[in-house]
Structure 1
Amino acid sequence: MKNYEEVVGIDVSKKTIDAYCYHTQAHKAFINDVKGYKSLIKWVLKVTKTSSVFYCFENTGYYSLKLALYLHSQDLVYVEESPLKIKRSSGIVKEKTDRLDAILIARYAWLYREELEPSKVKSRSHLELGRLLALRD
């Protein structure tokens, strides 16, 4: 991941995704659906003026799965990281907003970019098994 010029931190919630470009220090919120993902990609290309970008976001279950599936379908590099790792790396934070979370995720991804590995979507059968287990619980 060290060959990338820009990192985009994304805070994923039920209805929206907040994106923050680390070097250009640009922030924007999008709807958490395919239309929002398309707008996100266009915005990132416009703001960063480079295609050497990777995306980083927390694994939030179903909400982040939709984003991961879209990025995978577009052959874009992304890292889906554990929320606990990101939280521990950021230290004590006094306020909590979606924008601030996106900034912290982008900072985490940039600082640890040499250690991060690109994520991949699990197989369809593995995803279905996880869904059925969650339904059973």
Structure 2
Amino acid sequence: MPGQAITIGIDISKDHLDVALYPGGETRRFLNARSGHTALLRWLGKQVVARIVFEATGPYHRDLERRLEQAGLPFAKVNPRQARRFAEATGKLAKTDRVDALMLARFGVLLEPQSRPARSENLVQLAELVAGRRILIKDRTATLNRLKTLGQELLKRHARHRLRQIEAHLTSLNVAIDAVIAADPVLTRRLAILTSIPGLGEITAQALIADMPELGTMDERQTAALAGLAPITRQSGKWQGKSFIQGGRSHLRQALYMPALVAMRFNPDLKSRYDALVTRGKHAKVAITAVMRRLVVIANALLRDDRTWTPKVA
């Protein structure tokens, strides 16, 4: 129907974009390159677009995301696992590029995922550098553990040499991360706000900025859920199971664990929260998770209000 708003699903691969309209079911294929993006935007210019839905695909969606933002088109980037579960729930077991595009369009109509702005170029660079640092830190831990079990002197020398390489690479990455943040006033301000929270050091604050750019735009439950720190209730009839955390961004939970331990010692508000939970009989790990959740919720609130942390007045 002319003038009717449509939802568009885009299945993204390295070489192609498979595009589907809903309602209507029309599909088209474009190159996943600048020329293909231009052709897609020209075609979309003839439509009344309510929402464009695509899966997060790492490097393959970034250029398209930037072009959609520049064109002022509303889009939502969804978790691939969530999209696949939706397809299974609707009985769509076949998996082709065309089917996936149609499924994403229908996903957008029924669930109305929230549109969020694309990341700035500086934020994209920061996220890549922070991810690289995370990989190096894992490599360092694995090499240190391996060094403890080695018997051959040659292998020990190789391991020590690898550790020196890792340390050098970490140093250069940290310099690059500092430079990216210093060159961007918005990132600089966000870092200053986050590091004002007792327990949050620069490395954790950088990880939050890079891996959770939505901070400052959500409510408390959305924030906790995105970090995988929202307790999931299990209840059926008279049966009541234990709540647990699940999903979300696991590397953020890992990044928040040590800061939570530090905050329990030096942040009076969070220390009192931890002590109260333990006094009520909660397991220490449950109480630590609650502190982690509170940390990320505080970070979201401070960024939303554009203010640094201040202690509560008794």
Distance in structure 2 (CA, Å) of the matches to 1:86 and 1:94: 12
The answer to whether 1:40 aligns with 2:40 is yes
The answer to whether 1:104 aligns with 2:103 is yes
- Say which of 51, 56, 75 aligns to 1:78: 75
- 1:42-61 superposed matches below 5 A: 42-46=42-46, 50-61=47-58
- Aligned 8 A contact 2:69 2:117 in 1: yes
What secondary structure, in the 3-state scheme, does the structure 1 residue paired with 2:48 have? coil
Distance in structure 2 (CA, Å) of the matches to 1:79 and 1:119: 6
What secondary structure, in the 3-state scheme, does the structure 1 residue paired with 2:102 have? helix
Distance in structure 2 (CA, Å) of the matches to 1:52 and 1:88: 25
What do the CA deviations read for 1:84-105 (whole angstroms, capped 9, x no partner)? Answer: 1111112154322100110110
Q: Which amino acid aligns with 1:36?
A: G
Q: Which amino acid aligns with 2:126?
A: L
- Aligned 8 A contact 1:21 1:44 in 2: no
What secondary structure, in the 3-state scheme, does the structure 1 residue paired with 2:11 have? strand
Distance in structure 2 (CA, Å) of the matches to 1:97 and 1:57: 15
- Say which of 114, 119, 122 aligns to 1:117: 114
Q: Which amino acid aligns with 1:112?
A: L
TM-score (norm 1): 0.84
TM-score (norm 2): 0.39
What do the CA deviations read for 1:54-86 (whole angstroms, capped 9, x no partner)? Answer: 211000011111111110111111111111111
Number of equivalences: 129
Unaligned runs of 5+ in 1: none
Answer with 121-130 or 67-76: which moved more. Answer: 121-130
> Which is helix-richer, 1 or 2?
2
What secondary structure, in the 3-state scheme, does the structure 2 residue paired with 1:65 have? helix
Distance in structure 2 (CA, Å) of the matches to 1:6 and 1:98: 20
Larger RCO (CA under 8 A, 6+ residues apart): 1
User: Equivalent residue for 2:5?
Assistant: 5
Unaligned runs of 5+ in 2: 136-314
Distance in structure 1 (CA, Å) of the matches to 2:45 and 2:71: 14
Q: Tell me how far 1:31 sits from its aligned partner.
A: 0.1
Distance in structure 2 (CA, Å) of the matches to 1:52 and 1:27: 15
Answer with 51-60 or 124-133: which moved more. Answer: 124-133
Q: Tell me how far 1:135 sits from its aligned partner.
A: 4.1
What do the CA deviations read for 1:103-130 (whole angstroms, capped 9, x no partner)? Answer: 11011001112xx211211233321122
User: Equivalent residue for 1:25?
Assistant: 25
Q: Tell me how far 1:133 sits from its aligned partner.
A: 3.5
> Which is strand-richer, 1 or 2?
1
User: Equivalent residue for 1:127?
Assistant: 124
What secondary structure, in the 3-state scheme, does the structure 2 residue paired with 1:37 have? helix
